[in-house]
Structure 1
Amino acid sequence: MLFLTALRHACTRTSATCAMALLCLLPLNSQAQVLSATVKTDQVRADLLAHAPQGIQAGQSFWLGLQIQHQPHWHTYWQNPGDSGLPTRLQWKLPAGLQVGEIAWPLPKKIPIGTLANYGYEGTVLLPVAVTVGPDFKVPVVGPVKIQLQAEWLVCRQECIPQEGQFELSLPVQSATALHSGLFDAAHKQTPQALPGAHPVSLSADGRSLSLQIDQLPPAWRGQTLSLFPVTPHVVNNAAVQGKTWTQNWQGDRWTAQVPVSDERSESPSALSWVIAQGPETSPKAPALEVTSPVQGPWPALAPAAAVSPALAKALQDNAQTTAPSGTGSLALALLGAFIGGLLLNLMPCVFPVLAIKVLGFAQPGQSRSEHRAAGLAYTAGVVLSLVLLGAALLTLRSAGEQLGWGFQLQTPAVVAALAVLFTLLGLNLAGLFEFGQMVPSRLAGWQSRHHTVNAALSGVLAVAIASPCTAPFMGASLGLAIALPAWQALSVFAAMGVGMALPYLAASLWPAVARALPRPGAWMVVFRQAMAFPMFATVIWLLWVLGQQTGIDGASSLLAVLLCVAFTAWAWGLQNRARGVLSALALATLAWLCAGVLPAALRETPGPQAVSSEAQPRWPAWSEARVQSELAAGRPVFVDFTAAWCVTCQYNKKTTLSDAALLADFDARKVTLLRADWTRRDAAITQTLAALGRNGVPVYALYVPGKAPIILSELPSVAEVQTALRGL
C-alpha cells in the first residue's frame, strides 16, 4: 500500500519537492548573508577600500578602490590583458545619488608567457574609482552609507583561475574616512595622465607596422628608454620584444617608435591609445602618460575572426570535414545519437527509480487501457517539452553572449544544492519515512488523484529535472553538433533525446504485451520501492562531492546540515500526535535559518585551486589555452582532459583509462604534456575551446600535435584507443 499511495500522489510529490527545493534556493540572493570588505583565496587577498577625507557631501567626490594583493608568481590583468586573460570587472551597488566612474587603471607591466605576452599586475595593486555625490543624494536617517561591490578577476600563474567576491563597506557621512590616504595617493601617482593633443601614428603600406611620433614628452625623458603599452586591444603584436621586434629612437625632442601589427589583428580602429612610461616594459616607472593617436593610412582587410587560436579554428574545420557528414546526414546522426543517449539516461541511478516506479504503476488496479495510454503520452510530452525548453534556454543564453554548454545548470552551486535537497526528499519518501500527501491540503490531494494525466506529465518534468546531473556517452557529439545547427534543427535534437528517454514508459502504456510482461502485484513492490531509495541517497553523496569541489568543505558541510534538517522536518510532519506541531515548527524554523543565514554564505565562498580542481595533480596541471600553445610551440604534444566534477562519465574515465599505469608510461615515453580543463564551474575559455572542437559538453579528450589538427577521442576511450592515437605522433 505504501507503493500505491506514493504512485497516487505523483503530482503532489513533484509539487512538494519543488517547493522544498525552492525554499533553500530562493534565499541565496537575499541580503541576509554577512558580507565583509575582504575576500581571501589561496592566490590573492582582495580588500574594498575608501578615501573620503571630507565625508560624503553633495557636490563633492570621494574614492573607492579594490586592492588586490597577489601571492608570489600570480598576477591579474590590466584593461588590455594582451594575448590572453581578462581584465578585472567591478559592479557597484550604491545608494541613489552616488555615481561611480570607470577604473583609473594604474601603470601595468608586461608579463611574457612563452611566445605570448600579457599586461597586468603582480605584488599589490589598487584599482581606484571616483564617486561623485549628486544633489539628489539623501543622507541616511540612521547609520552609515552602505557600499556593495561584486568583483570578478582572473588570477594566473601557469594556470588561470577565475575568481569573484562580494564586498560591503559602511562609510560615515559626516566624518572623514582617510585611513588609506597613502594607498590612494600612491595609486594616483601610478595612474597615467592624458598627454594633450593628437599624436598621429602612420600605418605602413603593407599594414604590418605602425610608426608613432611624439614631440611633447617631458624633458627628463629625453634620451631614455621608454615602455609602450597599447590600450587599444587586438591590434599590435603584444609579444614584440622591446629593442628587437619593436624599436624606438630619439631625434632631438621627438620620440619615434616602430611597432609591429599583430598577424591576428581583429580590429581596424581609426585611433589608437597608448600608455608610455620610463624604463623596460617588464618594470616600468611612474609617472606615465596616456596618448591618443589618429591612424594615418588605410587598414588592410581583416582575416576571418577566430574565437580562439588559429589551430583550434582549423580543428573545427577539420572535424566538420572528417568526422561528420554534411546536410541531412549530419542532422540524422545527431538525432540518432540523442535518441540513444536519452535511452541510456534511464539506466542512470538518479533516473531509474522514477522510471521503475512509473512502469510498475501499470500493476495498479482500477485504471483502464485508455487511461494508461493517456498517462504514457502525457509523460512523454512532459519529458520532451522539458528537454526542448532546457535546450531553448541554452541556445537563447548563448545567442545573448553567454559562454554556456550542456550541463551549465550544474556549474552553479545553488542548483547543485537544490538538487541534493530534491533527491534527499525523494529518497526519504521512497524509504517510507513520510508521504507527500500528508504535506498538502486534502483538497489538493483529492484534485491530483482525479487527474492522472496531469500527474504523469509532471512526473516527466521531474524525470528531466533529476536527469540533469547525468550524462550519456553518446550525447556529446550530438549536442555539440546541435549548438551549431539552425535553431529548429537543434531543438529537434533535444526532442529526440526526450523521445528516447520516455520510450520505455511510452511502450508499456501503448502496448499491453509490455505491461503484461511485468510482475504481478505483491509484497515485493514495497521492498522494491524502498530499495529504490538507495540510488537516490547515492546521488546525494555524489552531489555533495560536486559541491565540495565548487565551494570547499564549508559549502558541503553546510548543505549536510540542511539535508539533516530536511529529513527531520519530513519526519516531524508525518507524526500523528501532539508533538507534530511543536517539532514541525522547530524544524521549519531551523531549516529557514540554515537556508537564509548559513548556506548562502558557504555557497558564495570563492574556492581555491584545491577546491575547484582537486584532480589537478602534478601529473595533470590545470589547462589554459596559453599553456597549450606554449607547449606546441616547443614541439611537445599535449593531451587535454576536459572534465567536470558533476560529470559521472568523466569520473569513471579518470579512475579507469586515465589512471592506467601502462598508458601513463606511454605518455611519459612520448613526452606528452598532460593537462586537465576543469569545467565544474563556468569557464568561458573552456566553453569556447569545446565549441571549436565541435563539442558542447564533457567529457572530451583531445590530443594536440604540433602542426596538425587536434585528434578527438571517444567519450569512453579505452586504453587501446588512446595508445593507438599516441602511435601516430
Structure 2
Amino acid sequence: MPTRPPPRISRSRLSVIGCVPRAADVTHARIMERLAALAILVLLALALPASAQQQIRGPGSDRMPVEIAADGAPVPGDTWMVALHFSPSTSEWHGYWSNPGDAGLGMQLEWQLPDGWEAGDALYPLPHRLVIGGLMNHVYEGEYAVLVPVSVPSGADVGKAGPIAVTASYLACTDTICVPQQARLSLDPSSISADPRFAGWQSAIVPQLDSPAHFEFTATHLRVGIPIPSETALGDLHVFLGTGELGEGDRPIYTATQTFISEGNLLVAEIPIERLAQTSSANPGADPRPATIGGILDLGEGRGVRFTAKPGDVPLEGAKPIRGGDAEPVLWQLLLAALAGGLLLNVMPCVFPILSLKALALAKAGGEERGARRDALAYTAGVVIACAGLGAAILLLRSAGEQVGWAFQLQQPIVVVGLFLLSLAITANFAGLFEVPGVAISGGAPSRGGSFSTGLLAAFVATPCTGPFMAVALGTALVIQPIYGLLVFVALGVGLALPFLLIGFVPAIRRRLPKPGSWMETFRRWMALPMGLTAIALAWLVWRIGGAGYLALVASLAVLVLVGLAVIGRFQRTGRGSVRMAMVALLAVMALGIVVLPKPEAQAASEASLLDPVEYSEAALTEARTAGKPVFVWFTADWCVTCKVNEGVAIEREATRAAFEQAGVVAMRGDWTQPDEEISRMLNEQGAAGVPLYLWYEPGGDAEQLPQVLTPDLLVKKAQASAAPQ
C-alpha cells in the first residue's frame, strides 16, 4: 500500500499522550510511551465496576468498539477460530498492528478459557503505513478483524464448557490524539452460530508462507531472505517486522528506505537498523539475537504474506537490486555513469598538477605512434588497477561489517601523513630539487613503468573528489553483486584515464599538443605552485586530525625528507654517490617515520559556520524533524575537496544564512573527517558511497537528496519555497 502523506501538524499537537513520542529520541520515547499507555490501561481496568465488565462492549471502547464472533461451534480436537471485529466510531480513528512501529500500542489479550483450551497468536490483516512527524506507525483505518485460533482438546465437552471471556486492551488514535481502550468480551461455545461475515474477515488475514525464510545481520542492516516465486508480481514492497527488539541493542529504523534484491525464487529485504544509545556492548549475551523473526511482506496492491525466518545465510550472488518495486539503474547505466564521473575527475583540482605533467610528458614524447600507445596503455593500467583495488578494498571491508565509502582511506591519519609527504616530494620534484628517473612527472622521457606509476598516483590523489554521476554509480556499486560493483569501479578508472588513452591512440589529437621546447621546464616549475598548495592543504588536514603537536611532529619528518631529497638531487647533478641507494634509504626513513608517529588523540573541533549548524546525530535529526521546521543536513569532511568548494559557493554565504533564518530552517552538519558510525549509517541508508551528501527535509516529509554539486542559489530557493504560504 502507498504511504499516506504525512499531515502538517505542530509539535504541541504531537505531544498528546499515546500519539507520538514527546521526546526527541524516538527509541527512549517509544519505550516510555508504551509504559505510560500500559499504566493507563491498568488503571482503567482496576477502575471498572464488575457489572460493566460483563458487557460485550465495555466502557472505554467507544472510540474503537470491538465485538467477538466465531466461525461456528468449536469441535473437540480441532482449532476454533474466533474473531475480534473493530469498528471505529468515525473515520478519523485508527487501530494498530501487533508491532505498532515508532509509536502506538499493540493489542493485549487476556483470555479466560476452560481447562485444556489454549489461545494462539492473533492473526492480522495487512496493515498500512502512516507517517506523522517523521515517525512511522503500522495501523488499520476503517473496520478490520483480528482472528485468534483457539485449540480445543480432544476430550472437551463443549456443551458444559461454559462461556469463554477475553479482555482486550488496545489503543485508538487519530492524527492528533490517542485514547486507551478496553473491552470485556464473552462468548458461549455451546450456543454460538457462525457469523456470516466471518469468511470475509478470514480472507483478509495475511496468509502464511509455507517455505522457510532466513535472516542475518550486518553492522547496519537486518537482511531477510524470503522465498517468493519468480512469477510473483512485485509492487510497492515493504516488510512489517513483527518485533521492534532485534537483540544486541538493535532496533529497526522504520522510516528508512528498505532495499529489495530479487533473483529467481528468492527475495532479499535489507532493513536498516540502529543501535540503542544506552546499550553497552560489554555484555552482548544479556541481549541475544532472536531465535526467529516474523513479519509480513507487503507485495503491494493489498497483497501480502506472513513469514517466519530463522538464522541462516542470505545469499546475494547474482541478485538484481530493486527498491520499492521500481528497478534501480541497470548495469550498463551504472557503468556509463561511472565512466562519466571518472572523466569529470580530470578537471577536478585534486589531480590537475599530476595530469598537467602527464600531458607535458606526452608532448615531449613527440609523434612516435607505438611509444605513445604503449605509454597511454601503461598509464590506463595504473589508473584502473588503483580504482579497482580501492573498490575491492571497500567491498571487502563492507562485507565484513565495516562502514566505509569512497575515500575512506583519508580517514586514517597515517594515510594523510603519507599523502602530505608524497605531495611535498612531488612539489620538490616539480621545483627541480631532484629527479625520479623514468617517471613521467620527473620531466624526463616517459616509460611504461613511469606512466604506470603516474596512473596509480593520479587515481589515488583523485579520491578526495566526487562529482556529478559518481554518487548514483558508486552508491549502487556498494549494494549490488560484488563482481558488478567491482566493474563500476573499473569503469570509473577507465573514465579517469580516457583523455590520455585517446591522446595515445588518436594521432589527430596528439598532433594538437604543443611542440616540445624550453617552455616545458618553465611550465613544470610553475606546476610546483598548485602542488605546493595541495601539500599545504594536507598539512592543514594533519592539524585538523591531530592538533598542533601532531602537526609539529609531521613537519619535523617533512623537513628530514626535504633534506634527504636535496642530498639526492645534489648526487644526481654531480654524478657522485649511489642515487638508487639514497632513494631507498630515504623511502625507508619516510616509512619508519610514518609508522612510529603517535596516534593523534582527538580531532579538532568543527569549523565555525555562518549557519551555526547543529552537530549531526540520529537523535538530533529526530528532534529537528519533529519540531515542524525545514531541516538541511550536510555531510562533509576536511579532506573532501568537492565539499569545501560547495561550502564556499553555496553554504557559507550570507544570502543562505538570511534565507534560512527567515524560513526557520534547522541547519545540521555531519563531519566525516574521521570515522563516525552514525554518519556512516546515514550515508549507507541514502545509498551514498561517501561525502558530500546533502539532505533537505520539509516539515513532516522524507529526505530529499540534493545534487552533489551545489549552485549558489539552490539552498536559498529551497528555503524561500519552504517559507512561502502553502
TM-score range relative to shorter protein = 0.5 to 0.7
What corresponds to 1:219 in structure 2? none
Note the C-alpha offset of 1:569.
Answer: 0.8
Note the C-alpha offset of 1:703.
Answer: 1.0
Contact 1:266–1:302 (CA<8 Å) still a contact in 2?
Answer: no
Give per-residue Cα distances to partners, 1:566-623, cap 9 Å, x unaligned: 111100222249998899999999998897579855543223xxx0523467711210
- What amino acid maps onto 1:650 in structure 2? C
- What amino acid maps onto 1:565 in structure 2? L
The separation in 2 between residues aligned to 1:296 and 1:587, in whole angstroms, is 58
Map 1:591-670; keep pairs closer than 5 Å: 600-607=596-603, 611-615=604-608, 619-670=612-663
Higher RCO (CA < 8 A, seq sep 6+):
1
Q: TM-score, normalised by structure 1?
A: 0.53
Identify the match of residue 551 of structure 1 among 538, 546, 551. Answer: 546
Identify the match of residue 483 of structure 1 among 474, 478, 481. Answer: 478
Aligned CA distance change for structure 1 residues 488 and 588 (closer, same or farther; 3 Å): closer
- What amino acid maps onto 2:327 in structure 1? S
The 10-residue stretch of structure 1 (353-362 or 627-636) with the greater mean CA deviation from structure 2: 353-362
Give per-residue Cα distances to partners, 1:94-121, cap 9 Å, x unaligned: xxxxxxxxxxxxxxxxxx7544439xxx
Note the C-alpha offset of 1:503.
Answer: 1.2
What corresponds to 1:357 in structure 2? 357
Give per-residue Cα distances to partners, 1:208-260, cap 9 Å, x unaligned: 6799xxxxxxxxxxxxxxxxxxxxxxxxxxxxxxxxx99xxxxxxxxxxxxxx
Aligned CA distance change for structure 1 residues 666 and 438 (closer, same or farther; 3 Å): closer
Note the C-alpha offset of 1:489.
Answer: 2.5
Aligned CA distance change for structure 1 residues 699 and 373 (closer, same or farther; 3 Å): same
Contact 2:367–2:510 (CA<8 Å) still a contact in 1?
Answer: no
Map 1:299-448; keep pairs closer than 5 Å: 301=295, 326=327, 329-364=329-364, 368-437=368-437
Note the C-alpha offset of 1:704.
Answer: 1.7
The separation in 1 between residues aligned to 2:594 and 2:390, in whole angstroms, is 30
The separation in 2 between residues aligned to 1:500 and 1:524, in whole angstroms, is 29
The separation in 1 between residues aligned to 2:290 and 2:431, in whole angstroms, is 77
Note the C-alpha offset of 1:369.
Answer: 1.1
Q: TM-score, normalised by structure 2?
A: 0.53
Aligned CA distance change for structure 1 residues 484 and 522 (closer, same or farther; 3 Å): same
Note the C-alpha offset of 1:524.
Answer: 0.2
Aligned CA distance change for structure 1 residues 429 and 365 (closer, same or farther; 3 Å): same
Contact 2:650–2:713 (CA<8 Å) still a contact in 1?
Answer: no
Aligned CA distance change for structure 1 residues 519 and 629 (closer, same or farther; 3 Å): same
Note the C-alpha offset of 1:536.
Answer: 1.2
Identify the match of residue 244 of structure 2 among 259, 265, 285. Answer: 265
The separation in 1 between residues aligned to 2:398 and 2:641, in whole angstroms, is 24
Map 1:292-303; keep pairs closer than 5 Å: 301=295
Give per-residue Cα distances to partners, 1:108-151, cap 9 Å, x unaligned: xxxx7544439xxxxxxxxxxxxxxxxxxxxxxxxxxxxxxxxx
The separation in 2 between residues aligned to 1:294 and 1:567, in whole angstroms, is 56
The separation in 1 between residues aligned to 2:385 and 2:717, in whole angstroms, is 42
SS of equivalent to 2:668: strand
Contact 2:468–2:708 (CA<8 Å) still a contact in 1?
Answer: yes
Note the C-alpha offset of 1:299.
Answer: 8.2
Identify the match of residue 28 of structure 2 among 113, 117, 130. Answer: 117
Structure 1 residue 493 corresponds to structure 2 residue 494: no
Contact 2:438–2:445 (CA<8 Å) still a contact in 1?
Answer: no
The 10-residue stretch of structure 1 (428-437 or 400-409) with the greater mean CA deviation from structure 2: 428-437
Give per-residue Cα distances to partners, 1:331-362, cap 9 Å, x unaligned: 34433332222122222344223323333333
Note the C-alpha offset of 1:728.
Answer: 4.7
Structure 1 residue 711 corresponds to structure 2 residue 704: yes
Aligned CA distance change for structure 1 residues 639 and 618 (closer, same or farther; 3 Å): closer
Identify the match of residue 575 of structure 1 among 558, 570, 575. Answer: 570
SS of equivalent to 1:574: helix
The separation in 2 between residues aligned to 1:711 and 1:294, in whole angstroms, is 36
- What amino acid maps onto 1:409 in structure 2? Q
Contact 2:438–2:446 (CA<8 Å) still a contact in 1?
Answer: no
What corresponds to 1:458 in structure 2? 453
The separation in 1 between residues aligned to 2:587 and 2:505, in whole angstroms, is 44
Structure 2: which 5+ residue stretches go unaligned? Answer: 1-22, 30-97, 111-178, 181-240, 249-283, 299-306, 308-320
The separation in 2 between residues aligned to 1:569 and 1:492, in whole angstroms, is 41
The 10-residue stretch of structure 1 (656-665 or 640-649) with the greater mean CA deviation from structure 2: 656-665
Note the C-alpha offset of 1:298.
Answer: 10
Identity of aligned residues (%): 35
Map 1:147-166; keep pairs closer than 5 Å: none
Note the C-alpha offset of 1:543.
Answer: 1.0
Aligned CA distance change for structure 1 residues 555 and 361 (closer, same or farther; 3 Å): same
Contact 1:555–1:599 (CA<8 Å) still a contact in 2?
Answer: no
SS of equivalent to 1:701: strand
The separation in 2 between residues aligned to 1:728 and 1:381, in whole angstroms, is 48
The 10-residue stretch of structure 1 (427-436 or 347-356) with the greater mean CA deviation from structure 2: 347-356
The 10-residue stretch of structure 1 (583-592 or 426-435) with the greater mean CA deviation from structure 2: 583-592
Note the C-alpha offset of 1:663.
Answer: 2.0
Aligned CA distance change for structure 1 residues 594 and 501 (closer, same or farther; 3 Å): closer
Contact 2:610–2:653 (CA<8 Å) still a contact in 1?
Answer: no
What corresponds to 1:517 in structure 2? 512
- What amino acid maps onto 1:401 in structure 2? G
The separation in 1 between residues aligned to 2:292 and 2:494, in whole angstroms, is 56
Aligned CA distance change for structure 1 residues 528 and 594 (closer, same or farther; 3 Å): closer
Number of aligned pairs?
Answer: 443
The separation in 1 between residues aligned to 2:372 and 2:586, in whole angstroms, is 42
The separation in 2 between residues aligned to 1:116 and 1:564, in whole angstroms, is 52
Structure 1: which 5+ residue stretches go unaligned? Answer: 1-111, 119-202, 212-244, 247-261, 270-289, 306-318, 440-444
Give per-residue Cα distances to partners, 1:147-190, cap 9 Å, x unaligned: xxxxxxxxxxxxxxxxxxxxxxxxxxxxxxxxxxxxxxxxxxxx
Structure showing greater radius of gyration is: 2
The separation in 2 between residues aligned to 1:389 and 1:511, in whole angstroms, is 28
The separation in 1 between residues aligned to 2:568 and 2:648, in whole angstroms, is 42
- What amino acid maps onto 1:605 in structure 2? E
Give per-residue Cα distances to partners, 1:295-345, cap 9 Å, x unaligned: 99998648899xxxxxxxxxxxxx9879x9735x44344333322221222
The separation in 2 between residues aligned to 1:476 and 1:297, in whole angstroms, is 38
The 10-residue stretch of structure 1 (585-594 or 405-414) with the greater mean CA deviation from structure 2: 585-594
The separation in 1 between residues aligned to 2:455 and 2:290, in whole angstroms, is 63
The separation in 2 between residues aligned to 1:688 and 1:297, in whole angstroms, is 25
Contact 1:406–1:697 (CA<8 Å) still a contact in 2?
Answer: yes
SS of equivalent to 2:634: strand
Contact 2:242–2:295 (CA<8 Å) still a contact in 1?
Answer: no
SS of equivalent to 1:552: helix
Identify the match of residue 471 of structure 1 among 466, 470, 477. Answer: 466
The separation in 1 between residues aligned to 2:462 and 2:288, in whole angstroms, is 56
Contact 2:361–2:446 (CA<8 Å) still a contact in 1?
Answer: no
| RMSD (Å), alpha carbons | 4.7
